[in-house]
Amino acid sequence: MSQVKIYSTPTCHFCHMAKDFFTENKVEYTDYNVAEDLEKRQEMREITGQMGVPVIMIGENVIIGFDEPKIRELLALA
């Protein structure tokens, strides 16, 4: 399975939905709190050109927002 990373903030509803989805589907992921981690915030901006969260990376694929169908597709989840 591809490496999964999420750039998120503690107050983002869609970030919580994404992380709950990963937990429910037993998907291991790395969470970067861009509200506190300035280095990861800059990294996210370089990847997407914007500040919106969540930014989810599955391998080299970038998803902006919680796009469950796309996440399921990339992770080969039914």
pLDDT (tens digit per residue) in 38-64:
999 999 999 999 999 999 999 999 999
pLDDT band (50, 70, 90) for residue 2: confident
Which residues, at least 6 apart from 21, have a Cβ–Cβ distance to it below 8 Å? 27, 66, 68, 71
Question: Which of 10, 59, 64 minimizes the C-alpha distance to 37?
Answer: 10
Architecture per CATH, domain 4-75, reads as 3-Layer(aba) Sandwich (3.40)
**Sign of the CA dihedral with 21 first, then 43, 52, and 49 last:** negative
**Residue 78 has what pLDDT?**
74
Compute the half-sphere exposure of residue 77: CA atoms within 13 Å on the CB side of its CA.
Answer: 16
Q: What is the pTM of this model?
A: 0.94
Domains of the chain, residue spans? 4-75
pLDDT band (50, 70, 90) for residue 1: low
d(CA 26, CA 36): 26
